[in-house]
């Protein structure tokens, strides 16, 4: 159901040219009529507001019940940074954060992680943009489990595309929950985007493409 909060987030993404409509190819190689590119957030105000959206979702779902938050390179880096700031500023939840380099540093302290150093027993949450086929999370988990004996409990994303993953009839989000025991929380999902477009006459040409795409790739 498209709540006022979800509508606000959709319009926020559109105003920042993050949620776009047209012809795109996702990381999984699927052609899609809509695309979410969090790399288009480029101002301090946008970053601050985005962090507040994520912070509100974290507060409403798990509160302070975690030890640190991780942002996968590259897009997860500004996401986790803005979220950590907003959590402390608006929710009174001050938690450490960290992120990874794509290539390990071979000088100084070395290693691939920047920021907080995970400890055995830590409960880690992941801050990401979207999940399409689950490719990125499968690349991320070895980084975390290789750093310490941590437990990854929850993942927070902007958009759940509700798309089938590697198993027929199961979405990537379902697979992440079943295979890794990670709960995935999203600010909106593809049904919210579809419902929003239904309310806006100027997107009438996009609706059939959305519906065809959802019928082909989405599982609800």
Strand segments, DSSP code E, in 117-198 are 123-127, 130-131, 151-160, 183-189
d(CA 48, CA 157): 16
* Cβ pair 176, 170 in contact under 8 A: no
CB neighbourhood size of 62 (10 A): 17
75 is catalytic: no
Q: Which of 95, 105, 151, 200 is catalytic?
A: 105
Q: CB neighbours of 4 closer than 8 A, spacing ≥ 6?
A: none
d(CA 133, CA 27): 8
* Cβ pair 134, 176 in contact under 8 A: yes
**Six token digits for residue 129:** 């943009």
Which DSSP symbol is given to 108? T
185 is catalytic: no
Q: CB neighbours of 204 closer than 8 A, spacing ≥ 6?
A: none
* Cβ pair 166, 134 in contact under 8 A: yes
Q: Which of 75, 107, 151, 194 is catalytic?
A: 107
Active-site annotation, residues: 105, 107
């Amino acid at each position: 159901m498209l709540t006022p909060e979800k509508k606000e987030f959709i319009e926020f993404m559109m105003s920042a040219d993050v949620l776009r409509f047209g012809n795109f190819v996702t990381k999984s190689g699927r052609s899609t009529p809509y695309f979410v590119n969090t790399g288009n957030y480029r101002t301090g105000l946008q970053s601050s507001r985005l962090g507040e959206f994520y912070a509100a979702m974290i507060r409403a779902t798990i509160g302070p019940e975690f030890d640190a938050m991780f942002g996968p390179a590259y897009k997860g880096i500004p996401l986790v940074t803005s979220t950590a700031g907003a959590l402390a500023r608006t929710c009174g939840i001050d938690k450490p954060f960290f992120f990874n380099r794509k290539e390990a540093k071979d000088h100084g302290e070395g290693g691939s992680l920047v920021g907080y150093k995970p400890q055995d027993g830590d409960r880690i949450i992941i801050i990401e943009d979207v999940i399409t086929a689950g490719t990125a999370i499968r690349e991320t988990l070895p980084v975390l489990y290789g750093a310490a004996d941590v437990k990854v409990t929850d993942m927070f994303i902007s958009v759940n595309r509700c798309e089938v993953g590697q198993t027929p009839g199961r979405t990537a989000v379902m697979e992440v929950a079943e295979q890794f025991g990670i709960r995935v929380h999203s600010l909106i999902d593809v049904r919210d985007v579809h419902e929003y477009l239904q309310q806006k006459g100027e997107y009438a040409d996009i609706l059939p493409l959305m519906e065809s795409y959802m019928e082909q790739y989405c599982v609800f």
